[in-house]
Amino acid sequence: MILEFFRKNKSCTHSKIRPDEEFAYCPDCGELIENRWFLTRCACCGVKLKSVIRNGEVVPEEHFCHNCGSKGFVVEKLEKISFINIDYAVLVKTIVNLCVEDKVQSWVDIKNANYSPDLIPQFM
């Protein structure tokens, strides 16, 4: 807890967003956040492995499968979390970048208008 005061990179953790919501605005930073659930499985036998986040990547908690001993794993994105997978899955909160177009167009029906419209300049 004391080390949090000395961190140089103070980014928002979005801790006030509930895990059951798919999209939500963070009340602390105002960003649109998407909750994504990920699950790791053994690449050999397909058994669910407990997931953690290390260095920004979803990886299994143990370095090998407890069922067959394989070190390979597959990361699977879940659409919705269920109570069966809640012990194995990990939640990743990502910021959604919205694409906003700066162009605005308007059309005039020439049949009903008595003039030919000019283009409106775009101000920035």
Residue 84 domain-assigned (yes or no)? yes
Could you tell me if residue 6 is inside a domain? Answer: no
pTM reported for the whole predicted model: 0.67
Q: Please report whether residue 112 resides in a domain.
A: no
Alpha helices in the chain (DSSP H): none
Answer yes or no: is 83 within a domain.
Answer: yes
Percent of the chain with pLDDT over 70: 72
How far apart CA 44 and CA 47 sit, in angstroms, is: 8
Residue 29: pLDDT over 90 = no
Based on its alpha-carbon atoms, the radius of gyration of the chain, rounded to whole angstroms, reads 24
* Structural domain that includes position 87: 16-95
Provide the β-strand partners of residue 36: 92
Query: How far is CA 89 from each of CA 27, 103, 119, rounded to the nearest angstrom?
Result: 25, 42, 54
* Lookup: tokens for 61: 């908690």
- The mean pLDDT of 106-121, rounded to a whole number, is 65
How many independent structural domains does the chain possess?
1
At residue 48 the predicted structure's pLDDT band, cuts being 50, 70 and 90, is very high
Does residue 37 sit within a domain? Answer: yes
Count Cα neighbours of 46 within 13 Å in the Cβ-side half-sphere: 0
